[in-house]
Amino acid sequence: MRAFLAVPLLAALTLAGCTSVPAPATAVDVAGIIAPYKADWIKAATTQSECAEAWVFDRSTGPDCYVLADTVDTTTATALQELDELGPPEGRESDFAALTSSLEAASALKIRAVCGTEAVPNTKVGACGDLIVDRVTALGLLNRELTKWP
């Protein structure tokens, strides 16, 4: 019976000394999380005004804009979750907070939830039109924060 208890006890004591502390986050880690999405976010930020205009006046180009907007909704939320798990790099806490804040603002504006699932949303409906205007602002802020993370 003693041998039976000694093996698990010895294993537990051995493993207790092997706990590792994760390495602190770095700017490279943050850049690695946002890199796969950055091009789409920049494109959305730089074309959002044109997309809003397309949805109102030229419905033929609207579907491309909608797909991009829907993609941005998903990827900003995904990146935000990954960044929350990572935490801020030492010395870059304020930049990190500004980045995550801009991602929160962008990811909160769910085009599908507010404007419906049609490829060309009805921007003449109050809530959808307001969301489109808010997206222009939020994506502009996100675009500015992205420049801090090459």
Rounded average pLDDT over 112-119: 76
User: Is residue 140 situated within a structural domain?
Assistant: yes
Would 15 be classed as within a structural domain?
no
In a domain, 41, yes or no: yes
Structural domain for 82, as ranges: 25-146
* Mean pLDDT across 99-107: 95
**10-50 per-position pLDDT tens digit:** 455 444 555 566 678 999 999 999 999 999 999 988 888 78
Q: How many domains is the chain built from?
A: 1
Q: Is the pLDDT of residue 136 over 70?
A: yes
What is this structure's pTM? 0.77
Cβ neighbour number for residue 45 with a 10 Å cutoff: 21
For position 127, what pLDDT does the model report?
A: 82
Q: What is the pLDDT of residue 115?
A: 79
Instruction: Encode 53-116 in three state secondary structure.
Output: HHHHHCCCCHHHHHHHHHHHHHHHHHHHHHHHHHCCCCCCHHHHHHHHHHHHHHHCCCHHHHHC
Mean pLDDT along residues 59-71? 76
Residue 12 lies in a domain: no
What value does the mean pLDDT take over residues 55-64? 67
